[in-house]
Amino acid sequence: MKVVEGKLLASGQRIGIVAARFNDFIVSHLISGAEDTFVRHGGNSDDLTLAFVPGAFEIPLMAQKMAESGKFDAVVCLGAVIRGATPHFDMVANESAKGIATASLKTGVPVTNGILTTDSIEQAVERAGTKAGNKGADAMITAIEMVNLSKSL
């Protein structure tokens, strides 16, 4: 049996990051986690391009534009949708996740979901570099692996 896996090596990869300004207090830590992970896996931070959008709802369109541009091997999406802070939590959370999946399938470029969807600000803090890891770092490592896996098929 031939097994195909993606290495966790980022050297030479060019990655687009789309980050929401909404809940910047949290999202800024997701951006740091993503950049740190890219560099610690051999990537050059000059090969990262960061695009800010107003909120998580706007992420899929920009992710799709970046994926279509041909300039990036993958796109990493970062945001924080917090239930306590929004009456339309479900709409923003669902549409952003659906749109990210669509952008990836439509373009054939890996687009990873680093958007936190939590019930409280405390849960978001826990997933932005404290006791429950960093979802930005997770989304970056997924992108690195998917780029290498796609190349090795």
User: Residue 46: CA atoms inside 13 Å, Cβ hemisphere, count?
Assistant: 1
- Establish if 139 lies at the interface with ligand INI (CB under 6 A): no
**Residue 88 is a catalytic residue:** yes
* 42 contacts 145 by C-beta, under 8 angstroms: no
- Establish if 19 lies at the interface with ligand INI (CB under 6 A): no
CB of 118 to ligand INI, least distance (A): 9
Among 10, 18, 67, 81, binds ligand INI (CB under 6 A): 81
What is the rounded distance in angstroms from the CA atom of residue 78 to the CA atom of residue 26? 10
- Establish if 17 lies at the interface with ligand INI (CB under 6 A): no
Stretch in the footprint of ligand INI (CB under 6 A) among 6-14, 78-86, 97-105, 126-134: 78-86
User: Residue 47: CA atoms inside 13 Å, Cβ hemisphere, count?
Assistant: 17
What is the rounded distance in angstroms from the CA atom of residue 111 to the CA atom of residue 119? 24
CB nearer to ligand INI: give 42 or 55: 55
